[in-house]
Amino acid sequence: MYPNLNRFSFHEDNKNSTTVYETQYEFGGYPKLGMSLAELRQIVQSNIHTYDPKQYKVIDKFLQDEQVYVDKLAVLEVQKFDLCAIKIPYYDLQSIFGFIEEIKNIHGTIFPQHLIRIYCIEDILRVFVMHAEKLRIYIKDEWKKSQVKFEGKKAILKRFYNTGIIKDLSLPEQKISDYLKFHEQIKSNYEHIKSSEIFQQSFQLFNNIYIQMQYVKQAAVIEKFQMPLFQNIHLVNLFYVSVDGGLAVRYKVFLMDNDVIFTSLGSSTKPVSYNLLFPHGQRCNFHVIRIFNQTTKS
């Protein structure tokens, strides 16, 4: 049950004065612009008496973890610009670091604005689902960074290993993994939440993002292949496929919304239409099929 609050407020007492911070924004209404994670956590802590004690611990820990994550991304962002000093081209830095600025903005600015009326755990899940499209930046981030080593930048990456930054570049992937653990924690401890529609939507959101991040890692090995990522990759697997009635060749197949991408050692590069029969017996007709040559075997 939600606490019956008209507003959140907290008081910061100094020697001769008291500063009062208040907001009158209802959750789901207009967000409070400029709200930081630190301010939001202070507000929640100042209203601890209004929360279910068990849920309060989860909410406070969530906000703390978000702050730690944003702080780490901020350090990585500074390191990115510092590396310009050793004459690594900015374009290369953009590829290697991915979309850390955009990700930091989601967690450090957008989420706090919409969590201003955080009453319970479900409110966190609602904000996740509200910004599902923005969170796809994680997939694009993985795609951008996964292609780097296939663009002749191994020497640059070696320099990154020497600075220790390479480990921090995996922070976004680790964050999605942490969110899945967060959902598992909720599932184990809150029977009424795990059966709710918002929980299922939120869990599926991050589960899909995590799967897509693993898939684009594999898709990134296709040299010279640029995918806008407006589509989801639904399948990555190996098949023996006969194209235009020819000899069956072992292909790595990337099945997407409207495309099938084959990668093999074959020489054919012409577009074809083909009816695919997958292991479970279902036939799928696709009219846009791209075939890329691999320089190494799958």
Domain that holds residue 186: 8-219
Residue after which a domain boundary falls, among 219, 253, 271? 219
Confidence of residue 9 (pLDDT cuts 50, 70, 90): very low
Mean pLDDT over 205-227 rounds to: 77
Q: Which of 249, 230, 231, 228 is nearest to 240 (CA)?
A: 249
Mean pLDDT over 185-203 rounds to: 96
On the question of pLDDT at 19 being above 50, the answer is no
Tally of domains in the chain? 2
On the question of pLDDT at 154 being above 70, the answer is no
Residue after which a domain boundary falls, among 219, 246, 267? 219
pLDDT tens column, 114-140: 998 899 999 999 999 999 999 999 998
Distance from C-alpha of 18 to C-alpha of 15, rounded to nearest angstrom = 8
Residue 122 confidence (pLDDT) = 97
Q: Are residues 195 and 286 in the same domain?
A: no
Residue 181 falls inside a structural domain: yes
Q: Are residues 140 and 185 in the same domain?
A: yes
Give the DSSP per-residue string, 122-189: HHHHHHHHHTHHHHTHHHHHHHHHHTGGGTT-HHHHHHHHHHTHHHHTTHHHHHHHHHHHHHHHHHHH
Residue 225 falls inside a structural domain: no
Neighbours of 277 (CB within 10 A): 11
Q: How far, in Å, are 104, 188, 194, 290 from residue 191 at the CA level?
A: 32, 7, 5, 47
Residue after which a domain boundary falls, among 169, 191, 219? 219
